[in-house]
């Protein structure tokens, strides 16, 4: 066992033991504790849990890799703009009003605001979005285990499934919340320590947010010499249309993510929900302002370490990641990625751009950049192990939140609300835990067989959330004329159109350019506009909601807890 594997094992065992202990100490025995942690989580803790829930494996593992490698700097900023902008949109536009409405889940809101048919469609949408999203998280778990512990990817995913099963099934939302607070602490420490160390080493400035500006000019010059487009130049790997569509899909998808929205139901009241959002924004900013620096530092080091060096003389990190198939040669005609080799026989490896005189011989997977950055920067083994533990924390924290959405949708919105309304607390908890266990098994299979790299899969989930939930949540709060028929038709049209386009462009045509060159990760914006149009048109053509429901919608938007909102939150049916 190498030093890196040993330190990784130490950190993984310690952190996993802490997660399970926290879940055991927070175990619940009622549905309110299982679904929304009893609604009593303090704002700072809830903010940390929201940040951990929201900053998935895509944020920790993949985002800097996309900025540095796939997006070539500027184009990768769509993820920064989309995800952070979407969170602000959610915090200001939706979260306080949904918290005031007082339901456990997004389908619960849809069912009470619109109809049981709309609730059923919302359940299907929530499950589809959550399963697509969780596939990226479990895939990230497999990447970490395969590289740092020498465990096969499949077994890595299975281990992750077992850990999530222990604390999610046992503690429900309460256990998940306090576990996520712990996981946020692990992931942010693991992200910041190597970033600060590498910044100090490269620039002499310990603040990476400032230090990376010192090497951008050098990085631009280095990339130009190797035939790459300028790192800071706009629209080199993504045109303006796709930049706008992908940013919008990520933004509106964030505001429609069911596992993030439900977090605001764990706050004590509406005021606490607003403060939770503020704390979460602070915690998120710590990572998101650091990611561009991590990307530029790693790209700078990679260009200096790999290009023009013989295969036998490549640094250790290069060989280790090549051994697990995440550093390869360029794709063959059948789409497979062969091992790295000196294709042109000039005695060295050429890591170059399309504008170079020699062809590129190295392909680096986006998902390894953050995990490999301590090794690339020459940092000691303990920091490498800590980063691996942080990657697992990011993946598992989001996976648990998504699995709870699936579980609560099945147990609360299907079983309790549709199949057995007379079910007692014990029966509901049993169904919720069975649903959680089944969801974990399916999530594991998706993690072993993901449809793309981590951030790409996650981006697809955001597109599905934007096209299904965002319009009917906004209209449900701010347009009292919106009807059940309109919401049902809009959700169906939005998610079906978006999913069909994604399947068509990814599977059938192998990542083709699609219609007008629109990327599959940006089509969620089109699906969202279709949802809005269908919902509004059908609503105007159908009978308005009851007077009582229209008054309730108005009351939800105003400060203070009116009698009508209080009656609804207490479970009284509003006709």
Q: 482: closest CA among 537, 564, 403, 415?
A: 537
Q: Is residue 557 part of a domain?
A: no
Together in a domain, 287 and 312: no
Which 3 state secondary structure label does DSSP give 309?
Answer: strand
The more confident residue out of 319 and 568 is 319
pLDDT band per the 50, 70, 90 thresholds, residue 490: very high
Gap between the Cα atoms of 534 and 532, Å rounded: 6
Residue 452: pLDDT over 60: no
Residue 215: pLDDT over 80: yes
Q: Which of 315, 347, 376 is the last residue of a domain?
A: 376
Q: Is residue 560 part of a domain?
A: no
Together in a domain, 494 and 393: yes
**Lowest pLDDT segment from 14-23, 73-82, 151-160:** 73-82
Give percent of the chain above pLDDT 70.
88
Count of all residues that appear for the chain in the document? 575
What integer pLDDT is reported at residue 453 of this predicted model? 52
The more confident residue out of 36 and 69 is 69
The more confident residue out of 257 and 186 is 186
What integer pLDDT is reported at residue 451 of this predicted model? 59
Together in a domain, 308 and 338: yes
pLDDT band per the 50, 70, 90 thresholds, residue 508: very low
392, two tokens: 């697992």
Q: At CB < 8 A and 24+ separation, what contacts does 497-506 make?
A: 497/467, 497/526, 497/527, 497/530, 498/463, 498/464, 498/467, 498/468, 498/523, 498/524, 498/526, 498/527, 499/128, 499/464, 501/526, 501/527, 502/460, 502/463, 502/464, 506/451, 506/452
Give the residues across from 208 on adjacent strands: none
**Lowest pLDDT segment from 19-33, 123-137, 493-507:** 19-33
Q: Which of 357, 376, 395 is the last residue of a domain?
A: 376
Together in a domain, 309 and 442: no
Contact criterion met (CB below 8 Å) for 493 and 530: yes
Q: Which of 315, 344, 376 is the last residue of a domain?
A: 376
Q: Is residue 358 part of a domain?
A: yes
336, two tokens: 């497979």
Together in a domain, 79 and 227: yes
pLDDT band per the 50, 70, 90 thresholds, residue 493: very high
Residue 359: pLDDT over 90: no
What integer pLDDT is reported at residue 168 of this predicted model? 67
**Lowest pLDDT segment from 118-122, 162-166, 198-202, 559-563:** 559-563
60, two tokens: 């920790």
Together in a domain, 209 and 266: yes
Q: How far is CA 202 from CA 215, 293, 298, 351, in A?
A: 8, 11, 11, 21
338, two tokens: 């062969």
Average of pLDDT values for 552-570? 64
pLDDT band per the 50, 70, 90 thresholds, residue 34: low
What integer pLDDT is reported at residue 509 of this predicted model? 40
Rounded to the nearest integer, the mean pLDDT of the chain is: 82
In degrees, rounded to 5, the angle at the alpha carbon of residue 250 between the alpha carbons of residues 164 and 499 is 80
Q: Is residue 552 part of a domain?
A: no
Gap between the Cα atoms of 35 and 263, Å rounded: 10
Q: Is residue 558 part of a domain?
A: no
Q: Are strands 327-328 and 363-364 parallel, antiparallel or unpaired?
A: antiparallel
**Lowest pLDDT segment from 67-71, 326-330, 351-355, 562-566:** 562-566
Residue 534: pLDDT over 60: yes
Q: How many CB atoms lie within 10 A of CB 333?
A: 5
Helix and strand totals (H; E) in the chain: 27, 2
Give the residue numbers spanning the domain of 356.
299-376
Residue 561: pLDDT over 70: no
Total count of domains within the chain: 2
Residue 560 is given by DSSP the state S
Together in a domain, 483 and 391: yes
Give the CA-trace dihedral at 53, 395, 499, 496, to 10 degrees.
-40
Together in a domain, 386 and 370: no
What integer pLDDT is reported at residue 510 of this predicted model? 47
Average of pLDDT values for 562-569? 54
Place of tokens 């706050």: 267
Average of pLDDT values for 178-206? 89
Together in a domain, 304 and 416: no
Radius of gyration of the chain (CA): 24
Q: How far is CA 528 from CA 241, 461, 473, 491, 514, in A?
A: 16, 13, 12, 9, 18
Rounded to 5 degrees, φ, ψ at 353 are: -95, 180
Residue 414: pLDDT over 50: yes
Q: Is residue 79 part of a domain?
A: yes
What integer pLDDT is reported at residue 538 of this predicted model? 97
What integer pLDDT is reported at residue 418 of this predicted model? 77
Residue 495: pLDDT over 90: yes
Residue 267 is given by DSSP the state B
pLDDT band per the 50, 70, 90 thresholds, residue 205: very high
Q: 538: closest CA among 482, 455, 475, 480?
A: 482
Mark out the alpha helices in 207-348 (DSSP H runs): 208-211, 216-225, 240-255, 258-261, 270-288, 291-306, 316-323
pLDDT band per the 50, 70, 90 thresholds, residue 172: low
Helix axes 381-408, 170-203, angle to 10 degrees: 150
Contact criterion met (CB below 8 Å) for 490 and 538: yes
Together in a domain, 131 and 185: yes
Gap between the Cα atoms of 443 and 437, Å rounded: 10
Of 10-24, 57-71, 490-504, the range with the highest mean pLDDT is 490-504
Q: 400: closest CA among 248, 182, 190, 236?
A: 182
Give the residues across from 309 on adjacent strands: 349
Give the residues across from 328 on adjacent strands: 363
Together in a domain, 278 and 314: no
254-275 pLDDT, tens digit each: 888 777 777 777 777 777 777 8
Which 3 state secondary structure label does DSSP give 353?
Answer: coil
pLDDT band per the 50, 70, 90 thresholds, residue 440: confident
Q: What is the DSSP string of 518-550?
A: --TTTHHHHHHHHHHHHHHHHHHHSPPPPHHHH
290-336 pLDDT, tens digit each: 989 998 998 888 888 888 899 999 988 898 888 888 899 988 877 77
Together in a domain, 222 and 351: no
Q: Is residue 219 part of a domain?
A: yes
393-410 pLDDT, tens digit each: 887 777 777 777 788 778
Q: Is residue 366 part of a domain?
A: yes
């Amino acid at each position: 066992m190498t030093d890196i594997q040993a330190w990784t094992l130490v950190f993984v065992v310690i952190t996993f033991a802490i997660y399970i202990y926290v879940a055991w100490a927070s175990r619940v025995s009622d549905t309110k504790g299982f679904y929304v942690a009893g609604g009593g989580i303090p704002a700072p803790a809830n903010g940390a849990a929201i940040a951990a829930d929201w900053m998935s494996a895509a944020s920790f593992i993949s985002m800097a890799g996309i900025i540095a490698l796939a997006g070539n700097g500027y184009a990768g900023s769509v993820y920064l703009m989309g995800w952070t902008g979407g969170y602000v949109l959610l915090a200001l536009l939706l979260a306080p009003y949904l918290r005031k409405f007082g339901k456990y889940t997004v389908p619960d809101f849809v069912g009470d605001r619109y109809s049981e048919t709309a609730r059923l469609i919302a359940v299907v949408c929530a499950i589809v979005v959550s399963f697509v999203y969780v596939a990226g998280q479990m895939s990230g778990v497999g990447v970490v285990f395969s590289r740092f512990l020498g465990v096969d990817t499949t077994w890595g995913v299975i281990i992750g499934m077992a850990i999530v099963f222990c604390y999610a099934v046992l503690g429900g939302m309460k256990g998940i919340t306090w576990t996520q607070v712990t996981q946020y602490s692990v992931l942010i420490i693991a992200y910041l320590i190597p970033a600060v160390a590498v910044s100090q080493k490269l620039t002499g400035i310990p603040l990476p947010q400032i230090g990376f500006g010192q090497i951008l000019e050098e990085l631009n010059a280095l990339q130009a010499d190797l035939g790459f487009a300028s790192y800071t130049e706009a629209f080199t790997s993504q045109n303006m249309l796709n930049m706008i569509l992908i940013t919008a899909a990520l933004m509106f998808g964030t505001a429609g993510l069911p596992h993030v929205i439900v977090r605001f139901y764990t706050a004590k009241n509406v005021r606490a929900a607003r403060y939770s959002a503020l704390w979460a924004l602070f915690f998120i900013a710590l990572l998101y302002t650091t990611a561009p620096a991590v990307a530029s530092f790693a790209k700078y080091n990679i260009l200096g370490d790999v290009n023009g060096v013989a295969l036998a003389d490549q640094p250790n990190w290069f060989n280790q990641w090549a051994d697990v198939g995440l550093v390869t040669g360029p794709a063959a005609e059948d789409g497979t990625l062969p091992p790295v080799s000196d294709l042109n026989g000039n005695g060295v490896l050429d890591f170059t751009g399309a504008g170079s005189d020699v062809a590129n011989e190295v392909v680096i997977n986006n998902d390894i950049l953050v995990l490999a950055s301590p090794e690339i920067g020459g940092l000691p083994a303990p920091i490498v192990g800590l980063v691996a533990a942080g990657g697992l924390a990011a993946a598992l924290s989001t996976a648990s939140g998504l699995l709870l959405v699936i579980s609560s949708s099945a147990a609360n919105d299907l079983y309790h609300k549709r199949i057995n309304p007379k079910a007692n607390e014990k029966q509901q908890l049993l169904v919720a835990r069975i649903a959680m266990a089944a969801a974990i098994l399916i999530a594991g299979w998706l993690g072993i067989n993901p449809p793309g790299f981590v951030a790409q899969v996650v981006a697809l989930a955001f597109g599905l959330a934007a096209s299904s939930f965002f319009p009917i949540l906004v209209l449900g709060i701010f347009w009292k004329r919106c009807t059940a028929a309109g919401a049902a038709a809009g959700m169906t049209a939005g998610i079906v159109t978006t999913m069909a386009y994604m399947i068509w462009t990814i599977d059938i045509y192998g990542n083709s350019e699609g219609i007008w060159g629109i990327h599959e990760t940006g089509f969620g914006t089109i699906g969202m506009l279709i949802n809005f149009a269908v919902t509004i048109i059908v609503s105007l053509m159908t009978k308005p909601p009851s007077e009582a429901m229209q008054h309730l919608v108005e009351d939800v938007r105003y400060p203070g807890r009116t009698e009508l909102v209080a009656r609804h939150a207490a479970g009284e049916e509003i006709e």
